[in-house]
Structure 1
Amino acid sequence: MSNDVRRVKVIDSMRGFSLFGILLANMLIFQYGIYGKDMIHLFSLSPSDSAAYVFLKVAVEESFMPIFTFLFGYSMVKMKESLERRQLGVKRHFFRRFLLLLGFGLLHGVLLWEGDILTFYGMMGIFLLVFFLNRKAKTLLVWASILLVLTGAAGYGSLNDNMYLLSDKQTLTTYVKDTIHVYGSGTYEQIKDHRNNVDPMNIAGYKFAFAFLFTPFIMGALFLFGMYAGKKKWFYDVSANQKQYGRWAAVLIPLSLLLKGTMYVWPDANWAGSTHMLGGSLLSLGYVAGFAWVYARCERSFLMKAFESVGRISLSNYLMQTVICTTIFYGYGLGYFGKLGMIAGIFVCIGIYGIQLIVSYVYVQKFQTGPLEKLLRIWTNFSWNGKPKEKKALPEEVNHPFVG
């Protein structure tokens, strides 16, 4: 039992930690827009802000969201094992869960913000449920490795080539300039209309269908690595494997930073796009190992307990980040879109997350789950108390909450 408790705590803490990196990466979208963040030359950045921008692109963006992805796959395996022990229908519980997650994502994306990832997680959950949940650990590892290579191949192309792959430069420039005006000074309705109805890409239907079908295979590696880790019972005893986590982190983190940085050192090299994409996934695995190493040394610290609290109510915290940041940057709030600067945005991020650390820590002392987590459990288990209906009495076991 003690090993299970430890495992859940480190997973929750890791999830809470990843929310900080996700907020850091998302600040680029909150401040500059989904396309503007990659056309940063349209904004007036100081030299220090430009350096901070490169830091975020290399060390943060595309490397913290995959940690969530890894934990999503890990938690799917743990939830499956829990349902099987209770002799409950695995597929119907998962399908209901992913369906509501998909609904949350659609509402989030349509009503609030263009950077939603919940819709993607809902769709990926169904994809994994159909094709991979019942596979053996070795099969998951093989497929994860194949998809990791495919991820690198999909990034082939220079920085400038990839930016204008689906649209011409003038169209994107006009869209970003319009976005600066609308998001910075527009009303809620004007911003929502711009987000949902103005499309700079104009992707043909067959191209969109191809991208929709191909995306799970491009993005699936970290999901499958997480499922493999769950089946192999990683993180059951982080103290016993502390040195191993440290070695992995010491190799993966610097190597991955070098791989991701190649696109900014050689922006016109086609191969740099592949190393950048591959480095993003490997860096997330390095961060996972590094966090497990730190957790083994500092498990009883307040910070780890606070990370755990944020992770236990991660869905509610993720959506609250959207509410707070859109209020700060959009016209119907303070209207700081494109005006605050990169370094100031980082400090805003630290402030928001610091508040979430404290509020979450206090909240979980009184409540077991967050409000949206509770709703997700009620719908998933078809019970008002949010607990699965057991067919027979079972020993007490540990919950495995996850955003997916």
Structure 2
Amino acid sequence: MTSEDKPGWFGRLFGRKGKDEIKQDAPEETPAPPSEGDLDFATGADDVEHIPLPEDETEIDANEGADLLPIEGEDERPPAGTAGDDPRHGADPVDTGTMNREPEVALDPDIQPLDTAAALAHDAGAGPDREPEAKGWWSRLTTGMRRTSSALSDRVTGLFTKRKLDATTLEDLEDALIQADFGLETAMKISEAVGKGRYEKGISPDEVRSILATEVERALEPVAKPLEIDGTKKPFVILTVGVNGAGKTTTLGKLSSKFHAEGRSVMLAAGDTFRAAAIEQLNVWGARTGTPVVSGAQGADAAGLAFDALKKAQAAGTDILLIDTAGRLQNKTGLMAELEKIVRVLRKQDPEAPHATLLVLDATVGQNALSQVELFSQAAPITGLVMTKLDGTARGGILVALAAKFGLPVHFIGVGEGVEDLEPFAARDFARAVAGLERD
């Protein structure tokens, strides 16, 4: 073997042989074709490295599927010159051409939606293959509130285990409550109640949680009011408003299912004309619950569609008309003016409409919910709140802060995707779930 034929250091390191050795040890033969299993290996299918997501990217939580698919609109309307920038928005005159058109009304409950729509509905808890939920509401509520209750329980246990109660401990408790978005006023009341008559004495974490539950219940009891439907008003018009992604469309679908279960007739109006996916999603809910849906083309005038829907609901003798609206940021004055126009146009047909205007709030936005309530109340007569996604935050105390500042009725809370995960608000159940206590 010549020096050229000898393997180098790299070859010797990895056991590579020289040319002569290869000729002697490896007789020529025709390789057999690879088997099916070998083909997979040959293509590297079994060797693909699973690269983790970067730290700042997380997988979409299943509990938020209904609100992320489809996305609740964009922050801005289309560029100038499109339907979304209509300079007539906010004006009193109604576009009679829009009102005279015949919007699409899906009346057949057996409508089979497109595959994409069915997928959206399934994510939203309305799909035909959804397994029935075996757990009761209390179990779903405590599971949904676990992030908030666990965060508070950990802090309380750390503060009050083998430690006498003093001013520093109470300040730390206040901080924990403020971090959970209870608000400064409520946090101070709870810490005062905990400290009353107990300075320099021991107090168990369970006692603190019991006091916490009592104070939260006391704060929320005045606003825990059911949504009352006045049967003398046909239809009883419910308008939903809120920012992008709060869950308005999904909430309407769940409400339509609940009202049907009570034996009421319902009609849905796809007033989110800015987002084609919202129209499709509401039609899916209508198909699954046997609810007629009044809808138009993407970009159609939302006020005109609401007007048409009210006329059709009146003609059909419908008990309840649920109107969806496009998501809009509370600080966009042009979009809030559009909301004002919807209300004015409805009142041209029925001076008392809408009979209820529900502001849908996403619990994960925290303190931003306070400014949403304040500014949306200036554009529409907010009569009550629906709080969604309480299962997606460790700061569920925002509901207490809202009650303390505005005193608006809280009609429903949501802790998941299914129809059964949106229920009427009960102050005692919520308070005990937040404190991590069992139902009594």
In which range does the TM-score fall when normalised by the shorter chain? under 0.3
TM-score computed with the length of structure 1 as normaliser? 0.27
- Higher helix proportion, which one? 1
Higher Rg: 2
TM-score computed with the length of structure 2 as normaliser? 0.26
